[in-house]
Amino acid sequence: MPLSYEPLWHVLRERNLTKTDLQKLCGVSKATIAKISKSQSVSLQTLNKLITALDVPMDQILEVMSNQPAQLSLDLGDDKRTSTGLNTISLFSGAGGLDYGLIKSGFNIIFANDILKAAVENYRYNIGPIDDRDITKINTSELPAADVVVGGFPCQPFSNAGNRLGTDDDRGNLYLELIRIINAKNPKVVLMENVRGLLSIKNKDGSKLIDTIVYLLEHAASGYTVTYKLLRASDYGVPQNRYRVMIVGIRKDLGFKFEFPKPIKVDPKDLTVEHAINIPEGTPNQDEVWDLSPQSQEIVNNIPEGKSWKAVPYDKLPERLKKIRNNMKRYHSPNMYRRFARNEINGTITAAATPEHSGIVHPTENRRYSVREIARIQSFPDDYVFVGDSVSSKYKVIGNAVPPKLAHVVGDAIASQLRSHGCLSEDTKENTKKVSLI
Indicate if 191 and 157 belong to the same structural domain: yes
In a domain, 128, yes or no: yes
Report the CATH number at residue 149. 3.40.50.150
Report the CATH number at residue 9. 1.10.260.40
pLDDT in tens, 106-125: 999 999 999 999 999 999 99
Indicate if 41 and 148 belong to the same structural domain: no
In a domain, 382, yes or no: no
User: What does pTM read for this prediction?
Assistant: 0.78
Neighbours of 205 (CB within 10 A): 6
What is the rounded average pLDDT for all residues in the chain?
A: 87
Q: Of 208, 134, 143, nearest to 181 (Cα)?
A: 143
Indicate if 105 and 58 belong to the same structural domain: no
CA 235, distance to chain mean position in Å, is 17
Task: Tell me the H-state helices in 172-278.
Answer: 175-185, 209-218, 273-276
In a domain, 216, yes or no: yes
Indicate if 56 and 134 belong to the same structural domain: no
Indicate if 38 and 108 belong to the same structural domain: no
The pLDDT-based confidence of 59 (bands split at 50, 70, 90) is confident
pLDDT in tens, 214-262: 999 999 999 999 999 999 999 999 999 999 999 999 999 999 999 999 9
The pLDDT-based confidence of 44 (bands split at 50, 70, 90) is low
Domain count, the chain: 2
Q: Which range of residues forms the domain containing residue 178?
A: 87-265+403-428
What does R_g of the chain's alpha carbons equal in angstroms? 23
Indicate if 136 and 53 belong to the same structural domain: no
Q: Say if residues 111 and 144 touch (Cβ distance below 8 Å).
A: yes
Catalytic residue annotation? 155
Indicate if 26 and 132 belong to the same structural domain: no
In a domain, 270, yes or no: no
For the cut 50, the answer to whether the pLDDT of residue 80 exceeds it is no
Residues 55, 287: Cα–Cα separation, whole Å: 32
For the cut 50, the answer to whether the pLDDT of residue 431 exceeds it is no
Residues in CB range of 365: below 8 A, 6 or more apart: none
Indicate if 14 and 105 belong to the same structural domain: no
Residue that terminates a domain, selected from 17, 32, 64: 64
Indicate if 219 and 138 belong to the same structural domain: yes
